[in-house]
């Protein structure tokens, strides 16, 4: 049982090299995430805590590091770069929405 492999997907190592997957320790992922934020300037960024055959201990460690080290650092990077969440930007969800408001900190 379980998921079958995707014959069209690149090898894991190739996905790491191409930054399709950003993984390992907070020390190694944070510079890569900063580059991603600088180059793409997203207002929403999603994280996948574990996938595949990962032990419960490793999954728990991953989630802990993500919450204690990675996400707080990414939030600070977003502030430094002037990135807004959709809520801060008051992003319209339809054509009839008014223009976005000015960011609270004036950025």
- Residue 28 inside a domain? The answer is yes
- Residue 35 inside a domain? The answer is yes
Q: Give residue 4's pLDDT band: very low, low, confident or very high (50, 70, 90).
A: low
pLDDT at 53: 85
| pLDDT tens readout for residues 18-72 | 888 898 999 999 999 999 999 999 988 999 887 778 899 999 999 999 999 999 9
B/e letters for 68-88, b = 16+ CB within 10 Å, e = fewer, are eebeeebeebbeeeebbeeeb
- Over range 78-93, report the average pLDDT: 86
- Residue 92 inside a domain? The answer is no
- Residue 1 inside a domain? The answer is no
DSSP code for 9: S
3-state secondary structure 17-54: HCCCCCCCCHHHHHHHHHHHHHHHCCCCCCCCCCCCCC
- Residue 102 inside a domain? The answer is no
- Over range 3-16, report the average pLDDT: 78
Q: How many domains does the chain have?
A: 1
Domain of 70 in residue numbering reads as 24-41+53-84
Six token digits for residue 94 = 């339809």
């Amino acid at each position: 049982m379980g998921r079958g492999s995707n014959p069209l997907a690149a090898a894991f190592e190739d996905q790491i090299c191409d930054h399709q997957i950003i993984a390992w320790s907070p020390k190694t992922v944070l510079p890569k995430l900063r580059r991603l934020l600088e180059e793409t300037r997203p207002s929403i960024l999603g994280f996948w805590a574990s996938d595949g055959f990962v032990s419960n201990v490793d999954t728990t460690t991953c989630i802990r590091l993500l919450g204690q080290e990675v996400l707080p650092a990414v939030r600070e990077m977003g502030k430094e770069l002037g990135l807004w969440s959709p809520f801060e930007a008051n992003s319209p969800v339809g054509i009839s929405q008014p223009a976005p408001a000015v960011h609270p900190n004036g950025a």
